Structure 1
Amino acid sequence: MAAKKKNRDYRLFLSMVLAVVIALLLFTFTLIFSRNRPQDPIATQTLPIMTTPSLPAAPTDITPTQTNLPVNEPTSTAQPTATAVPLASEWREWPILPESISPLMIAVYRAALEQGSDPNKFSKVGDSNSMMPSFLSCFDFGESGYTIGPYTDLQKTIDHFRWSFSRESRATANGITAMGLDTYHWYEDEICWPYESATSCEYRLWKPVIAFIALGTNDAFSKPEDFDKHLRSLVQKSLDRFVVPILVFKADDIEGDGSFNQIIAQIAIDFQVPVWNLWRAMQPLPGHGLRENDVHPSFSNDSLCDFSGNDLKTYGWTVRNLTGLQALDKVWRLLNQAP
């Protein structure tokens, strides 16, 4: 019995020793493998720090002036100058035409020329008041379309931008809003791409260096914050495509408190873009240049572009077309005469 017990104890001892040896071997193998295993390149990779380029700071270009219709000055006097930052709440006192241009817009214009945009083209972005044949189209039809009167200095601009005036823009439509021009196009053809906004389509097709953006009338029936959001987006899309936008204060006050023009003013300040104060230009006219109970300009049955007589004291469309041409002329000259 004693011998059998001794054998059992001996076998138990051998089993324990064997278990310890196996455990030591496993531990040693694991240690060696972990030391020789290659590191995970994703886990050890250091991601680069991304920086966002900042736009150059620049003073804006709007200061109060008199309400008389502007008179073109000799081209040698049109120079970009720094002005005090205006207040959006004082938009009614802003000049009819921009008096200077920001360094940022000069940079955008020069980039446009380098990127292959056409220096002889501008675009229209807006509602029915921006559509042809009413807005500026007369200047593509020679003497039968307009009478320049005393504003002969504008003829060079008319010649320079010929065929942009009467172009049927892809970014104008009756009843359109800023959201409509920002988010999708209205054309069921293959010219504009799927999911491309009407504004982006117009810029891609025409490659302009300047664009009028005249909106807000139809937006007045929506939330102000929606108008602000989509107009900002349109301005940004313009700058991204190296297009200098000219924002337009609308002539009507359909919302009753001028708040939508104030939104336009604030966006102009924030983006340092030029403004054409159409509202101020129309104020001296009968009915402020608008048809009775309407948001469309009044007009003469004879001509929308006769600048030689009393039409400039009577009709909204005559004033709109003259001051629109003057705004284009002023911005173009400021951009090209920058040091």
Structure 2
Amino acid sequence: MRQNRWLLALIVLSLGLSLVSPGLVVPVSAQDGADASTAYILNMRTGPDVTYGVVAVLEPGTALVLEGRSVDTAWVLGSTADGALRGWVASLYLNYEPGFAAANLPVSAEIISAPAPPSAAGGESGSVDGATVAVPAPAVDPAAGVLAEVPLISMIGPRAREIFLHGQSLGNNPRVFTQVGECNIRSQAYLVPFGAGNYNLGPYADLQPTIEFFNAPVQEASNSWWYKGLTMGLGYTAQVVIDATFADPSVCAAGLSLLECEYERTRPSVAIINFGLYDVYWLTPALYEAALRQVVETSIDYGVIPVLTTFPTCPGDTSNWPSDAATRNQNRAAFNQTVYNLSREYSVPLVNLWRATQPLPGCGLLADAGDFQHISESTSPAGYAAFDGVENVYGFTMWNLLTLQVLDELRVNVLQ
């Protein structure tokens, strides 16, 4: 069965173990007749969102009988196989029985009437909807909030399939993706190793078919992994790619924005989108929201699945250039919240890179050197995509792993 092992790696890196409230843990229950079982320690909630109360904390291997799903299939409603507990669980953290498809469950909006359990002693109970861990108080990063409980990969559901099929009617290539963002996304440390064959999948060998799937030529590049197109560049913000004044008239038709021109040139089915690390220096939350919303809507209009990505943040930015540091730090939290909100509003995939990089040195940034704009990378190119523990040290290696995993989910569940 396919498993989301990146969550386990993140939990081990963060704490080495999981602490849960006494009396709330449901023991392993392997029984016949179940539709799925939990892959990790998992919260069962009263509703299909991390904002709902916790009914119980399920141990890995807990058998579940499922009866419904959320519209995007990110959450499923069910009961433990013994009938003792009923509630919602995050679908990405389940191992399904052969032949069972959560997408075939009826859509439900039921909210379970059950009180939230008490917090674990010694700190606030913070669940990651993979696992419940002890969260020290107070939080050190103002960007922490709902993102601390949002899965690392989510919102891959029927809407993504609808966008893909619209793109097919326009002639988009299912084996092509592109990237939209600032200089970090343009880095040779990001995704290029998969095209160059310079990677080590380690325990993620099941991702190899996805590397091979996206091997169609793109413009001058041999495949999408190598390709660095028009919509990424030094200092780019979300506003730049939607403004036609930045488009090169020798390449783009009059009136097209960089984003529109890129989509017409490459006809991708997926766009990996990451803005924020530079936007916080130049845009207000309102301008950022408006620009990123237009990026999402333009992508959907072109039949391109927009994969939104939260960006790493780290406490300690005190520079007052070119704007006030306190305001900028608040904006980081606001911008990442916008990324999450737009993902939910448009039901498009989300990669929660922010949460994945929080346990890393410098929060996955070069923050220890006072650089809060650039993602950290291995000192050797061999480590850019080496998933043998290096992903728990460098931001780019973790980002490569998550991007490969979200593309794998799309390949299996949407693009074929």
TM-score, length-normalised on structure 2?
0.60
Partner residue in 2 for 1:215: 275
Instruction: Flag the 1:170–1:61 CA change in 2: closer, same or farther, 3 A.
Output: farther
Partner residue in 2 for 1:59: 71
Correspondent of 1:231 among 260, 280, 292: 292
Instruction: Kindly indicate whether the alpha-carbon contact (under 8 Å) linking 1:282 and 1:319 is maintained by their aligned counterparts in 2.
Output: yes
Q: Following TM superposition, by how much is the alpha carbon of 1:239 offset from its aligned partner in structure 2, in angstroms?
A: 0.4
User: What is the distance in 2 between the residues matched to 1:124 and 1:65?
Assistant: 31
- The RMSD of aligned alpha carbons is 3.2
Instruction: Kindly indicate whether the alpha-carbon contact (under 8 Å) linking 2:357 and 2:395 is maintained by their aligned counterparts in 1.
Output: yes
User: What is the distance in 2 between the residues matched to 1:272 and 1:165?
Assistant: 25
Q: Which structure shows the higher strand fraction?
A: 2
Counterpart amino acid of residue 335 in structure 2: F
Instruction: Flag the 1:122–1:308 CA change in 2: closer, same or farther, 3 A.
Output: closer
User: What is the distance in 2 between the residues matched to 1:274 and 1:313?
Assistant: 23
Residue deviations 1:123-156, cap 9 Å, x none? 10000111141211111112xx211212111110
Residue deviations 1:148-177, cap 9 Å, x none? 212111110000112101102111011101
Instruction: Kindly indicate whether the alpha-carbon contact (under 8 Å) linking 2:387 and 2:401 is maintained by their aligned counterparts in 1.
Output: no
Does 2:338 match 1:263?
Answer: yes
Partner residue in 2 for 1:94: 150
* SS in structure 2 at match of 1:150: helix
User: What is the distance in 2 between the residues matched to 1:199 and 1:74?
Assistant: 41
Does 2:165 match 1:110?
Answer: yes
* SS in structure 2 at match of 1:121: strand
Partner residue in 2 for 1:175: 235
Partner residue in 2 for 1:298: 376
* SS in structure 2 at match of 1:165: coil
Instruction: Flag the 1:132–1:204 CA change in 2: closer, same or farther, 3 A.
Output: farther
User: What is the distance in 2 between the residues matched to 1:285 and 1:305?
Assistant: 15
* SS in structure 1 at match of 2:232: coil
Instruction: Flag the 1:185–1:171 CA change in 2: closer, same or farther, 3 A.
Output: farther
Q: Following TM superposition, by how much is the alpha carbon of 1:316 offset from its aligned partner in structure 2, in angstroms?
A: 1.3
Q: Structure 1: 5+ residue runs without aligned partners?
A: 1-57
Partner residue in 2 for 1:133: 188
User: What is the distance in 1 between the residues matched to 2:98 and 2:351?
Assistant: 19
Counterpart amino acid of residue 172 in structure 1: M
* SS in structure 2 at match of 1:256: helix
Correspondent of 1:150 among 198, 203, 212: 203
Aligned length: 274
Does 2:392 match 1:313?
Answer: yes
TM-score, length-normalised on structure 1?
0.72
Instruction: Kindly indicate whether the alpha-carbon contact (under 8 Å) linking 2:152 and 2:351 is maintained by their aligned counterparts in 1.
Output: yes
User: What is the distance in 1 between the residues matched to 2:257 and 2:269?
Assistant: 18
User: What is the distance in 1 between the residues matched to 2:195 and 2:385?
Assistant: 14
User: What is the distance in 1 between the residues matched to 2:100 and 2:204?
Assistant: 17
Does 2:387 match 1:332?
Answer: no
Does 2:358 match 1:283?
Answer: yes
Residue deviations 1:213-247, cap 9 Å, x none? 10112211221101111111110000000001000
Partner residue in 1 for 2:224: 164
Percent identity, aligned pairs only? 30
Partner residue in 1 for 2:16: none
Structure showing greater relative contact order (alpha-carbon pairs closer than 8 Å, 6 or more residues apart)? 1
Instruction: Kindly indicate whether the alpha-carbon contact (under 8 Å) linking 1:123 and 1:210 is maintained by their aligned counterparts in 2.
Output: yes
* SS in structure 1 at match of 2:379: coil
Instruction: Flag the 1:259–1:309 CA change in 2: closer, same or farther, 3 A.
Output: same
Instruction: Kindly indicate whether the alpha-carbon contact (under 8 Å) linking 1:147 and 1:305 is maintained by their aligned counterparts in 2.
Output: no
